[in-house]
Amino acid sequence: MLELVPDAEFQENKQFLTCIIPPAKLHALAVRLAGDADLAFDFLFCLSGVDMIQYIEVVYHLESTAHRHQAVLKVRVFDRDHGAVDTVCDIWRTAEFHEREIYDLLGIRFTNHPDLRRIFLEEEWIGHPLRKDYADEINIVER
């Protein structure tokens, strides 16, 4: 299924087939997954970012509406300051808003994104709140 990316790493998960791929291969693989008639992953039902401290993970939950199968793609970004991933919003249009959300809250840039601005917070906001090292002494009260 994934001969396109030989260095992909597979994770067995109870729920989904999970595949970790290098960021550079993401876009080519996404085109293939969406376009291939046997795979036909046309529905990106969730796109999330997770800060794992050593790296930030971008998680793509995919489903095929024709074949009803699901899979998960993961991309790891190690550079916290200038990390960037190729956008997939030319393949799945829903990614446009989700990528803006990840950029806003986790600070990963998406190259070739048509309109990469913060979506919830104002442009002057400092930091990315969903990162684990984000500190805000005024608004976050530790219990």
Measured CA distances, 118 to 31, 96, 107, 127 (Å): 26, 12, 9, 11
Query: Which listed range, 2-10, 21-29, 44-52, 79-87, lies at the site for another protein (CB under 8 A)?
Result: 44-52
Whether 83 contacts 77, CB under 8 Å: yes
Read off the DSSP letter of residue 127: S
Interaction mask 58-77, another protein, x per CB under 8 A: -x-x---x--x---------
Q: Which of 4, 27, 32, 42 binds another protein (CB under 8 A)?
A: 42
User: Could you tell me the smallest distance in angstroms from the CB atom of residue 50 to another protein?
Assistant: 5
| Residue recorded with tokens 């109870």 | 14
Tokens of 35: 């376009």
Tell me if 119 contacts another protein by CB under 8 A. yes
Q: Which of 43, 55, 86, 109 binds another protein (CB under 8 A)?
A: 43
Strand ranges (E), 90-137: 109-111
Q: Which of 27, 80, 94, 109 binds another protein (CB under 8 A)?
A: 94
Read off the DSSP letter of residue 102: H
SS3 label, residue 24: helix
Q: Which residues bind another protein (CB under 8 A)?
A: 13-16, 18, 42-46, 48, 50-51, 59, 61, 65, 68, 92-94, 96-98, 101, 105, 118-122, 129-130, 140, 143
